[in-house]
Amino acid sequence: MAIRRKFRGYGLILPLGLLIFGGYFVFAAVQGEYGVLRRVELESERAVLEAELALLDAEAERMRERTRRLSDDYLDLDLLDERARLVLGLARADEIIVE
């Protein structure tokens, strides 16, 4: 007659399973798609994009001001003269051009 030993490891399966299950959630909370590290990464990316937005807003405001200065309501003759020289390559007869 063979002697069978009973497996007494059943008491370890539940705690080990819960430990693995809990470990998965801790890993997901730290490094997952919505984890702490991803949040830090997104916040730094947000800061860079906000700085870029501020630069673009300043550039747009500068262009709006130049456009306003060339409009029919407010004509800046110096700006018009500058643009005509640059775009058309015009110069006055009494000017010396150095390239």
- Encoding tokens for residue 83? 């643009």
Residue 63 lies in a domain: yes
Q: What is the pLDDT of residues 60-95, one digit of tens each?
A: 999 999 888 877 778 788 888 888 888 887 777 887
Residues 6+ apart with CB under 8 A from 43: none
**CA distances for 51 relative to 42, 47, 61, 87, angstroms:** 14, 6, 15, 32
77 assigned to some structural domain: yes
Number of domains the chain is built from:
1
pLDDT band at 6 (very low <50, low <70, confident <90, very high): low
Is 49 a domain residue? yes
Distance CA 27, CA 35 (A): 8
In a domain, 6, yes or no: no
**Considering the domain boundaries, does residue 2 fall inside one?**
no
The range of the structural domain enclosing residue 51 comes to: 13-88
